[in-house]
């Protein structure tokens, strides 16, 4: 992908021209087919994307007790209820820790929830 | 006013399209032509009237084919009725044949009378025919048409003939240019003007009070342009007006609907966005995210921006959903572990 960083301008020019001519040849040979292929590919990947999102929604619905399969599956509904559920879990975590402390149980630090650990540094990688 | 000048004007008018000429020049020429034509026809009519007075039975050949006219004429002649103005207008009415203008009048009357019986356009013609042969019967039959101005037996009455003239004038006015008509008006003062109001009020349905008063004012002032404009509208007035009014409300409500719809859609999106942001804050440490160093371009694997336009982590939908469920799972596992701890103790 990172073909932009080529040190010598001469070779890069040559390769560029080569690639252009190659592309041109390809297009003239099978322009309609490639277009169709592109389209099909695009449709397939879009379907894949949607299917991924749907499966994730399904997963969240199965995880969240106040979301049921038969319920309104609008994005807003799911996002709101899942956020509610996370808040609920957080509260529960705090209460449990409180309980443990009251009972004099040593709570291991990995069981204490201190907010999201991910800082989003992996997003664009 | 002679025929030679008229010919010249005619010639020039024809030439007007080929040679380049000022608009004003052309316009004045056109006006002259119209005036000349009018004067000529008026003179002709006067001649014809003279002839008619001399030989009352001698019908001019141009009107011989017009049976409608003949019928009326004979009636009128029998009653020794002098129809100067009527003649002149019949002659002047070059645009429509008598039958057609009758039908048109009927049509207008019908528009003014929405509950009248006829929906078939041919009926206008049919009634016309029946009118010729049994005028009295017809008169009894369609009392709905108050504005049957072209009824032949009623020509004897000055009011109906006047309104007939008036209507014809309106129709011709609609198709001729205004200045020409102003001349016409001045040269041929008819008793029409006083009655213009009544007939027009009958033609236009009493839609709204102010509209009518405006009409009246315009008429009384009788600035010719206004009048001609109005007349131009007059013939096609009824249907569009109704349509406009009926469609006025739906149009407004449509606009309202659209506004409401877009408003609620924006609201929905805003809510969705807020819910998503709430989720994001729950799954990603925003503070840490904001403190992240700028990405080194060379290190990047995808072209995806890390920050979206709201300054929040630019996650794909799928990715965000995965993280949400992961977050749920992690907290839940912690809670479960805590519960176990509590139980075991």
pLDDT digits over B291-343, tens only? 877 767 666 666 777 788 878 888 888 888 898 898 899 999 989 988 888 88
pLDDT at B230: 42
* Band of pLDDT at residue A43, cut at 50, 70 and 90: very high
With CB atoms and an 8 Å threshold, state whether A113 touches B338: no
**B267: exposed, middle or buried (Cβ count in 10 Å: 0-12, 13-18, 19+):** exposed
With CB atoms and an 8 Å threshold, state whether B325 touches A56: yes
Question: 275-304 in B: which are within 8 Å (CB) of A?
Answer: 275-276, 278-279, 281-285, 288-289, 291-292, 295, 298-302, 304
B64 in contact with A at a CB cutoff of 8 Å? no
| pLDDT digits 0-9 by tens, B265-281 | 999 999 998 988 888 88
- Mean of pLDDT over chain B: 64
Tell which wins on pLDDT, B17 or A86.
A86
As a whole-number percent, the residues of chain B with pLDDT over 90 amount to: 4
With CB atoms and an 8 Å threshold, state whether B272 touches A79: yes
**Of residues A64, A106, A55, the one with CA closest to residue A85:** A64
B324 in contact with A at a CB cutoff of 8 Å? yes
Chain B: closest CA distance from residue A29 (Å): 31
Instruction: Provide the 3-class DSSP secondary structure of residue B313.
Output: strand
Mean of pLDDT values over B208-220: 43
A88 in contact with B at a CB cutoff of 8 Å? no
With CB atoms and an 8 Å threshold, state whether A96 touches B299: no
With CB atoms and an 8 Å threshold, state whether B313 touches A120: yes
Task: Give the residue from A116, A117, A125 with the most B CB atoms within 10 Å of its CB, the best one to mutate.
Answer: A116
Mean of pLDDT values over B19-32: 78
**Of residues A120, A34, A36, A63, the one with CA closest to residue B285:** A120
In our burial notation (b when 16+ CB lie closer than 10 A, e otherwise), range B107-136 reads bbbbbbbeeeebeeeebbeebbeebeeebe
ipTM of the complex: 0.71
pLDDT at B266: 94
Asked if pLDDT for residue B225 goes beyond 50, the answer is no
With CB atoms and an 8 Å threshold, state whether B292 touches A93: no
Contacts of B227 (CB under 8 A, 6+ apart): B173, B178, B181, B218, B219
With CB atoms and an 8 Å threshold, state whether A116 touches B331: no
pLDDT at B344: 81
pLDDT at B42: 85
Cα–Cα dist B89/B28, whole Å = 24
Residues in B closer than 8 angstroms to A76, CB to CB, are: 268, 271-272, 275
* Band of pLDDT at residue B251, cut at 50, 70 and 90: low
Cα–Cα dist B301/B318, whole Å = 18
B265 in contact with A at a CB cutoff of 8 Å? no
| pLDDT digits 0-9 by tens, B87-107 | 444 444 455 555 666 777 777
pLDDT at B228: 42
Q: Which two tokens stand for residue B138?
A: 């017809």
Asked which of A33-37, B60-64, B249-253 is least confident by mean pLDDT, the reply is B60-64
């Amino acid at each position: 992908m990172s073909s932009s960083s080529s040190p010598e301008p001469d070779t890069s020019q040559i390769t560029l021209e080569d690639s252009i001519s190659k592309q041109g040849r390809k297009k003239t040979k099978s322009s309609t087919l490639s277009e169709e292929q592109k389209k099909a590919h695009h449709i397939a990947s879009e379907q894949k994307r949607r299917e991924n999102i749907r499966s994730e929604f399904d997963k969240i619905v199965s995880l969240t007790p106040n979301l049921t399969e038969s319920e309104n599956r609008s994005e807003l509904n799911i996002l709101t209820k899942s956020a509610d559920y996370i808040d609920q879990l957080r509260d529960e975590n705090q209460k449990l820790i409180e309980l443990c402390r009251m009972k004099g149980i040593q709570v291991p630090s990995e069981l204490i929830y201190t907010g999201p650990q991910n800082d989003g540094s992996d997003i664009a990688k | 006013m002679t025929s030679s000048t008229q010919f010249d004007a005619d010639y020039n008018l024809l030439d007007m399209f080929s040679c380049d000429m000022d608009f004003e020049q052309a316009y004045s020429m056109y006006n002259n032509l119209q005036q000349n034509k009018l004067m000529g026809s008026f003179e002709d009519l006067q001649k014809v009237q003279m002839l008619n007075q001399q030989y009352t039975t001698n019908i001019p050949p141009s009107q011989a084919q017009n049976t409608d006219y003949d019928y009326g004429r004979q009636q009128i002649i029998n009653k020794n009725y002098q129809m100067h103005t009527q003649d002149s207008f019949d002659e002047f009415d070059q645009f429509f044949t008598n039958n057609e203008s009758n039908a048109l009048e009927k049509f207008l009357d019908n528009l003014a009378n929405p509950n009248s019986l006829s929906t078939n356009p041919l009926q206008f013609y049919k009634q016309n025919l029946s009118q010729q042969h049994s005028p009295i019967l017809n008169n009894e039959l369609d009392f709905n048409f108050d504005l049957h101005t072209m009824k032949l037996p009623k020509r004897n009455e000055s009011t109906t003939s006047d309104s007939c003239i008036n209507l014809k004038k309106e129709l011709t006015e609609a198709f001729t240019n205004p200045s020409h008509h102003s001349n016409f008006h001045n040269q041929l003062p008819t008793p029409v003007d006083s009655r213009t109001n009544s007939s027009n009020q009958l033609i236009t349905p009493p839609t709204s009070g102010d509209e009518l008063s405006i009409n009246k004012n315009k008429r009384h002032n009788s600035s010719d342009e206004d009048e001609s404009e109005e007349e131009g509208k007059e013939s096609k007035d009824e249907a569009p007006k109704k349509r406009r009014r009926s469609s006025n409300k739906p149009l407004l409500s449509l606009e309202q609907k659209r506004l409401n719809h877009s408003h609620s859609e924006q609201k929905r999106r805003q809510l969705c966005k807020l819910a998503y942001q709430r989720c994001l804050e729950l799954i990603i440490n925003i503070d840490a995210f904001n403190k992240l160093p700028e990405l080194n371009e060379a290190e990047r694997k995808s072209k995806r921006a890390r920050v979206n336009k709201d300054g929040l982590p630019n996650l794909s939908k799928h990715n965000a959903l995965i993280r949400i469920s992961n977050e749920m799972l992690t907290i839940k596992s912690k809670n479960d572990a805590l519960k176990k701890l509590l139980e075991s103790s």
